[in-house]
Amino acid sequence: MASKNQKGIIWAIILAFVCVLIIRSIFLDLMIIQGRSMLPIIKPGSLLIVNKAAYGFRVPFLDHYILRWSSPKPGDIVVFYTPAKERAVKRCFSIDEQGNVFAQGDNESESLDSRYYGNISPEKILGRVVVISE
């Protein structure tokens, strides 16, 4: 039978796990880059920290914002889902009248981006890259 101290440790571990899950699903996410589409700024193997709350509060696991307080701006490096349901990291180049984003990789010769699959709906944008670590 577990002692009172062991039960406290188990509950602390469960609480820490739940807190990390909430933070990762709503506020921050980590990504390790595999592609070369954002060279020279982001190299393969770079670790990115993504601010998932940069543009609003998003319902986890759904393509819907409950509250929006900002929109991507030209120059922002954003993370979004492509039409093939893959996560991509690209630079925001322009915004059209519906708020859709034209996103393009810095390494144009090796980037599949809005030139191939069109503009990105703001609802598909998961967040803005805030830290790039090599």
d(CA 64, CA 3): 45
What's the pLDDT tens digit per position in 46-92?
Answer: 999 999 999 998 877 777 888 999 999 999 999 998 989 899 999 99
Selected residue with higher pLDDT from 60 and 36 = 36
What's the pTM? 0.85
Residue 127 amino acid letter: G
Q: Is the pLDDT of residue 21 over 80?
A: yes
What's the pLDDT tens digit per position in 105-115?
Answer: 999 999 999 99
The pLDDT, as a whole number, for residue 25 is 79
Q: Is the pLDDT of residue 3 over 80?
A: no
Q: What is 4-133's CATH superfamily? A: Umud Fragment, subunit A (2.10.109.10)
The pLDDT, as a whole number, for residue 41 is 93
Strands 125-133 and 101-104: unpaired
Where are the chain's structural domains? 4-133
In terms of Cα–Cα distance, which of 37, 35, 103, 107 is closest to 72? 103
The pLDDT, as a whole number, for residue 112 is 92
State mean pLDDT over 19-26.
83
d(CA 118, CA 115): 6
User: Three-class SS of residue 130?
Assistant: strand
